[in-house]
Amino acid sequence: EYKCRIPTGPGRIVVYSNIPEASFTATGPKSFNGKGMCVQELNAPPGEYTFVFNEVAGYTSPTKMLSSGLKMTLVPEALLKFGASYRADTSADTGVIIVVTNLPESKFTITGPAAYSGSGTCWGQANVPAGQYKIMFGDVPGYELSFFDKEKSIYVSSGFGMQTAEAEYKKIGEES
């Protein structure tokens, strides 16, 4: 006999942008506000959400491109993730790096034409010089990373928008 569990619980919503001044309002089963380059809402109830992005001087907001806001549906126990890009009124000569994990205790280092370090579930850096970057994720006691999540490589090109790197930590002994 095969039993199948139907997911019913909350999920995660990750919203990232290409500028630190970005802010938005999300309305839906749970309303919340976000500000910055990377926001993660944990334990978000499933359902339809509408995201409205605020104006930032010197940029065209994503909401101007989507007059009524962006509508997206979070299914139970899933990850809803998207990037909202503000278009600069002048040309950009740098890029953006976004790092997303599932553990607040996670730490990482980024090396390449410039060096950065960060921690947490959602992190962003604007004005990143173009080039190849390596992201190394640190160990967290009681958790492990797959071989593919320990180190990520991304290429940032100027004016191209956002590059994201993700790592999913699993409890040691937990099945996927």
What is the helix (H) or strand (E) element at residue 151, kind and residue range? strand 151-156
- The model carries a pTM of 0.69
pLDDT, residue 58, reads 84
pLDDT, residue 8, reads 86
pLDDT, residue 123, reads 94
Give the chain's residues under pLDDT 70: 63-68, 90-92, 159-161, 175-176
pLDDT, residue 95, reads 84
pLDDT, residue 66, reads 64
Secondary structure class of 75 (helix, strand, coil): coil
Q: Which of 122, 125, 143, 141 is nearest to 133 (CA)?
A: 125
Question: What is the rounded distance in angstroms from the CA atom of residue 24 to the CA atom of residue 52?
Answer: 5
Question: What is the rounded distance in angstroms from the CA atom of residue 151 to the CA atom of residue 134?
Answer: 7
pLDDT, residue 143, reads 95
Question: What is the rounded distance in angstroms from the CA atom of residue 78 to the CA atom of residue 61?
Answer: 27
